[in-house]
Copies of this chain bind each other. A is one copy, B any other.
Amino acid sequence: MDAYFDNLETRDHSAREAALFAQLSVQVRHARETAPYYHRILRDVDAEALVDRAALATLPVTRKSDLIACQRAELPFGGLVAVPPGRLRRIFQSPGPIYDAEGHGPDAWRTARAFHAAGFRPEDIIHNTFSYHLTPAGVMVESGAEALGCAVIPAGTGNSDLQVRVIEDVRPRCYAGTPSFLRILISKARELGADISSLKTASVAAEALPPRLRAELNEAGIAVTQWYATADLGLIAYESSAMEGMIVDEGVIVEIVRPGTGDALAEGEVGEVVVTTFSRDYPLIRFATGDLSAVLAGQSPCGRTNMRLKGWLGRADQTAKVKGMFVHPSQVAEVTRRHPGIVKARLVVSRQDEKDVMTLYCAGDGIDVAAVARTLQMVCTVSGRVELSAPDSLPNDGKVIDDIRTLD
């Protein structure tokens, strides 16, 4: 019977809470003994008293937005990692820059559970279109694929011609990547008359999945479920075939807190996703992701009993995820710093043809639009348009990044 990845998914609430909180005190002791940052912030905590969510809520929150400064002060990991960098398996650079640590051990990113729920099974071939370069996205798929016993085609980004060819020739059944790139592959295959009908199931992440896009992919014969992860810690939650919210991974404790605070919110209230992991190499305790979500009441009809999230409901800060990459207000500032002619700038993130588009509106003197576009691409690692604006046409609302995408 392979409806579930393991029997952790169907245990009852109290058994799960007891098991997770039994690990928590061990993890807190481990973190403060091995990682200088946790030694500082958790020194006086009574680890044995961390027996439930109320006790967890007394611990300090570590915000993703603070990681940049924290790491800068103590390169490369701000004292949050428990081993010397050379003992890690891989080190990544996310925009910011924020350095991400991957430890050793099977399925370090815990993605196998999400892929199992998506219908991936042993000996399936997964066509993986996430990037492997600097970002951990590509390797997150490898992590779960290896644990499940699937083969991977590490296709990466771009080269849709070659990708359609490899799908036609090798006939993978599974797709991992963004939903918008899957749409690009389907349309490229139509253009080239290539048969990619081997693809039956897709596990998508890193951007919003509007219902219209999901319906379009389904019409192409591909079942689509989502997973939600961050480059810091791996899988947080995943959809099952029930398609009712995202079920929290069995390997983390998730809280929803009032943005900017560590205060837990009531079921249904929109707040910031805070995650505690049990990684030995890179322990994250009450890590505030900057993502907004809410707890969905009740239990999934698929039989999985863990807490469910409503999915990704935006960012608690002005950081935007564009084409799967985070763009921070500090990066927009860096672009304007390099072009002294720019007096005021506003990055608008929108969606066109199911694809993310970003446009930097600039006001000032003697601005070389092409040069600014090159800098924008270099600093953000995502390409964008640059347009000139009159200074008073840019709203005075404190926003550096204006995300006008809707999730319909």
Contacts and interface: CB of A to CB of B under 8 A. Distances in A.
Interface of A: 71, 75-76, 84-93, 97, 99, 122-125, 131-134, 138-139, 146, 149-159, 161-163, 165-166, 169-171, 378-379, 381
A154 B132 contact: yes
Contact of A151 (B91, B132, B158): B91
Number of copies: 2
20 contacts: A71-B169, A85-B170, A86-B125, A86-B151, A87-B151, A88-B151, A91-B153, A91-B170, A93-B169, A97-B162, A99-B170, A133-B133, A133-B158, A134-B153, A134-B163, A138-B154, A139-B154, A159-B378, A159-B381, A162-B381
A99 to B, nearest CB: 7
Most buried by B among A87, A154, A157: A154
A156 B85 CA distance: 19
Contacts of A86: 122-125, 150-151
A279 to B, nearest CB: 15
Contact of A154 (B92, B162, B171, B379): B92
Which of A92, A153, A155 has the most CB atoms of chain B within a 10 A radius of its CB? Answer: A153
A125 B158 CA distance: 28
A93 B156 contact: no
A381 to B, nearest CB: 6
Given A88-B151, A155-B133, A161 B378 contact: yes
B84 A123 contact: yes
A76 B150 CA distance: 17
B162 A93 contact: yes
Give the most central of A85, A90, A158: most B CB within 10 Å: A90
A171 B170 CA distance: 39
Nearest to A88: B151
Contacts of A149: 87
Contacts of A170: 75-76, 85, 91, 93, 99
A143 B395 CA distance: 52
A139 B99 CA distance: 21
Contacts of A91: 125, 151-153, 166, 170
Contacts of A152: 89-91
Given A87-B151, A170-B85, A165 B93 contact: yes
Given A86-B124, A91-B125, A170-B85, A134 B151 contact: no
Nearest to A75: B169
A85 to B, nearest CB: 6
A71 B169 CA distance: 9
Given A92-B154, A93-B153, 14 more contacts: A84-B123, A85-B151, A86-B123, A86-B125, A86-B151, A89-B146, A89-B151, A90-B151, A90-B153, A97-B166, A99-B170, A131-B156, A132-B133, A133-B154
B123 A87 contact: yes
8 cross-chain pairs, A with B, having the tightest CB-CB distances, nearest first: A133-B156, A86-B123, A132-B132, A88-B151, A93-B166, A76-B170, A91-B153, A75-B169
Contacts of A169: 71, 75-76, 93, 97, 99
Contacts of A151: 85-91
